[in-house]
Amino acid sequence: MSTSTLHDGLEALRADRAHEPAASSAVSRLASTFGTPLYVYDRTTIVSQFRSFHTAFASLFPKLRVHYALKANANGAVLAVLRGEGAAPEVVSLGEIVTALRAGWRGDEILFTSSSKGPDEIAKAVEIGAVLNVDSRDELEQAAATAAAAGKRVRISFRINPGVDPHTLHHINTGIPEAKFGLHLDGGLARAAYARATELPSVAITGIHCHIGSQIMETDGYVATARKMLAFVQELKRDLGLSLEFVDLGGGLAVPYHDGEEGLVPAVLADALAPVWSEAMADLAALGGDPPALWLEPGRFFVASSGFLVTRVNTVKTTTVKTFVNVNAGSNTLLRPAMYAAHHRARVVGASGTPEILDVAGDVCETGDILAAERRLPRPRAGDFVVFLDAGAYGFAMASTYNARPLPAEVLVDGDTATLIRRRGTFEDLFRDETK
Ligand SMILES: Cc1ncc(COP(=O)(O)O)c(C=O)c1O
């Protein structure tokens, strides 16, 4: 009988001790109780990630608000943990607005960012008093008209494209000039948008926003962005008399997806940004401006490392070229490897044989459906478990029922307690919305 907790077992997996009883007893317990494939989130990790981030910034930035980008993982139980820690929501769709309200946040706590918002989405933001993070002049005019028609003022910020390359993957590099997001500082587009907003009585200008990308390893891109943004904030004060309530520098902190990696440590980023910020605040004060709050909005950093995808081995096959471990999850369950060639550490649970080079393949009919390519792993047998680490962000959130495979279940672990937080999808779910 193992005396270790489920949390200990998950930690053993993370520490590459998947062969130890703590890991195998936790995984077999979770798999036999809830089935596989299974997303498991460790509450303790979510809390410690949030607190380490908050503490690092709060000590240097007295006016701070930390948002959570719901798109990373919007399960209500995960949201309850982050809301309990004091996070505010950053959303990208009407569905995420509804999700945030359902989780208990007030409308006026929501920041709504999207480069393509429909009339219903703008109307909802106006109705609930969310900050509408405006992406274009067209959207500004629509928001102003919607608010005027409702007899309200819409609170807005503008999403800025700062034209900074933080050296991350092209697909998740959002602040480069050719990206679709935001209003460019270059060419005066952002400046003209603020100037126009000052002419619109139904618009209340509250802040400024940028988000330069995801899985960013270095501080340089953030520092360059902060310099540009804060210089622009001073320009807005000097030339348009605008005092902003907040400057949102986005999310994007990298987490480690490989053994031995560190990701971007919040304290390192906070230390890099603090001198730029205080210098700009001093300049702003000289212009007679009040200091804005610093807003940040990570998604991945809070939840990625809390998540484990537990899969079961169906078959093991050696071809003339490779050995494939075929598991009962695929790119429909965890899309990141197929979509971004993303790396998730894979742990074979319980097996202790000499490691060989193996491909862990999914159960979807696509050649690209390889969850872990060419890894040194002990060869498992049918019925063993392979667990993918760091699957808490953009994991379940991107899952689909492609190949008519129902969605996996989700479980939240707290110490030695596991709670089902989303039941496994059923075949009935696949057809429920069909009308013929
Ligand atoms: C506008 C915005 N904010 C925040 C995030 C969160 O990014 P990350 O999960 O890398 O922290 C994203 C992710 O795409 C985003 O688009």
DSSP string, 273-309: HHHHHHHHHHHHHHTTPPPPEEEE--SHHHHGGGEEE
Co-location of 280 and 330 in the same domain: no
- Rounded Cα distance, 326 and 318, in Å: 11
Please state whether the peptide bond connecting residue 177 to the residue before it is cis, i.e. omega within 30 degrees of 0. no
Query: Which listed residue (62, 365, 367, 376) is catalytic?
Result: 365
The 8-class DSSP code of residue 173 comes to B
Per the rule left: phi > 0, alpha: psi between -120 and 50, beta: everything else, 394 is left
* DSSP helix/strand/coil, 179: coil
Digit-coded pLDDT (tens) for 202-247: 999 999 999 999 999 999 999 999 999 999 999 999 999 999 999 9
Co-location of 136 and 274 in the same domain: yes
Counting ligand 1 atoms within 8 A of each CB, the residue from 57, 82, 214 with the most, and so the one to mutate, is 214
Q: pLDDT band at residue 169, thresholds of 50, 70 and 90? A: low
Helix (H) or strand (E) holding 82: helix 76-84
**302 Cβ closer than 6 Å to some ligand 1 atom:** no
Question: Is residue 376 one of the residues assigned to a domain?
Answer: yes
**292 Cβ closer than 6 Å to some ligand 1 atom:** no
Q: How far is the CA of 297 from the centre of ligand 1 (A)?
A: 7
- Rounded Cα distance, 205 and 202, in Å: 10
- The whole-number pLDDT of residue 165 equals 80
Co-location of 115 and 176 in the same domain: yes
Nearest atom (ligand 1) to Cα of 113: 1
User: Residue 397's domain is classified under what CATH number?
Assistant: 2.40.37.10
Co-location of 283 and 327 in the same domain: no
Last residue of one domain, picked from the residues 283, 298, 313: 298
How many domains, in total, are found in the chain? 2
β pairing state of 417-422 and 409-414: antiparallel
Co-location of 196 and 250 in the same domain: yes
**252 Cβ closer than 6 Å to some ligand 1 atom:** yes
Residue (of 66, 50, 22) closest to 295 by Cα position: 66
**166 Cβ closer than 6 Å to some ligand 1 atom:** no
* DSSP helix/strand/coil, 84: helix
Q: How far is CA 280 from CA 230, 272, 314, in A?
A: 6, 14, 58
Question: Is residue 159 one of the residues assigned to a domain?
Answer: yes
- Rounded Cα distance, 43 and 95, in Å: 24
Q: Which residues pair with 377 in a beta bridge?
A: 356
Last residue of one domain, picked from the residues 298, 321, 351: 298
Residue with tokens 């520098």: 249
Co-location of 29 and 119 in the same domain: no
Question: Is residue 62 one of the residues assigned to a domain?
Answer: no
Nearest atom (ligand 1) to Cα of 67: 4
Co-location of 294 and 352 in the same domain: no
β pairing state of 183-184 and 385-388: unpaired
Q: pLDDT band at residue 36, thresholds of 50, 70 and 90? A: very high
Nearest CA to ligand 1 atom 2: 211
Question: Is residue 357 one of the residues assigned to a domain?
Answer: yes
**380 Cβ closer than 6 Å to some ligand 1 atom:** no
With a cut of 80, say whether residue 161 has pLDDT above it.
yes
Question: Is residue 77 one of the residues assigned to a domain?
Answer: no
Q: How far is the CA of 298 from the centre of ligand 1 (A)?
A: 6
Question: Is residue 33 one of the residues assigned to a domain?
Answer: yes
Digit-coded pLDDT (tens) for 87-102: 999 999 999 999 999 9
Co-location of 29 and 168 in the same domain: no
**113 Cβ closer than 6 Å to some ligand 1 atom:** yes
Q: How far is CA 361 from CA 227, 237, 374, 376, in A?
A: 45, 56, 10, 14
Nearest atom (ligand 1) to Cα of 300: 9
The verdict on whether 210 is a catalytic residue reads no
Q: Which residues pair with 46 in a beta bridge?
A: none
Question: Is residue 83 one of the residues assigned to a domain?
Answer: no
Counting ligand 1 atoms within 8 A of each CB, the residue from 70, 71, 336 with the most, and so the one to mutate, is 71
Q: CB under 8 Å to 95, separation ≥6 — which residues?
A: none
DSSP H stretches of helix in 185-312: 189-198, 220-240, 266-286, 300-303
Co-location of 130 and 249 in the same domain: yes
The 8-class DSSP code of residue 422 comes to E
User: Residue 236's domain is classified under what CATH number?
Assistant: 3.20.20.10
Last residue of one domain, picked from the residues 266, 298, 330: 298
Nearest atom (ligand 1) to Cα of 299: 9
Helix (H) or strand (E) holding 347: strand 346-348
Co-location of 238 and 314 in the same domain: no
Q: How far is the CA of 3 from the centre of ligand 1 (A)?
A: 39
Co-location of 125 and 140 in the same domain: yes
Q: Which residues pair with 422 in a beta bridge?
A: 410
Q: How far is the CA of 207 from the centre of ligand 1 (A)?
A: 18
- The whole-number pLDDT of residue 179 equals 78
**301 Cβ closer than 6 Å to some ligand 1 atom:** yes
Nearest atom (ligand 1) to Cα of 393: 9
Co-location of 162 and 250 in the same domain: yes
> Phi and psi for 387 in degrees, rounded to 5?
-115, 130
- Rounded Cα distance, 397 and 39, in Å: 11
**251 Cβ closer than 6 Å to some ligand 1 atom:** yes
The radius of gyration computed from the CA coordinates of the chain, to the nearest angstrom, equals 23
> Mean pLDDT score of the chain, rounded to an integer?
96
Question: Is residue 135 one of the residues assigned to a domain?
Answer: yes
Digit-coded pLDDT (tens) for 50-108: 999 999 999 999 999 999 999 999 999 999 999 999 999 999 999 999 999 999 999 99
Structure tokens belonging to residue 69: 């980008």
Mean pLDDT of 336-346: 96
* DSSP helix/strand/coil, 93: coil
Q: Which residues pair with 324 in a beta bridge?
A: 317, 359
Residue 151 amino acid letter: G
- Structural domain that includes position 142: 110-298
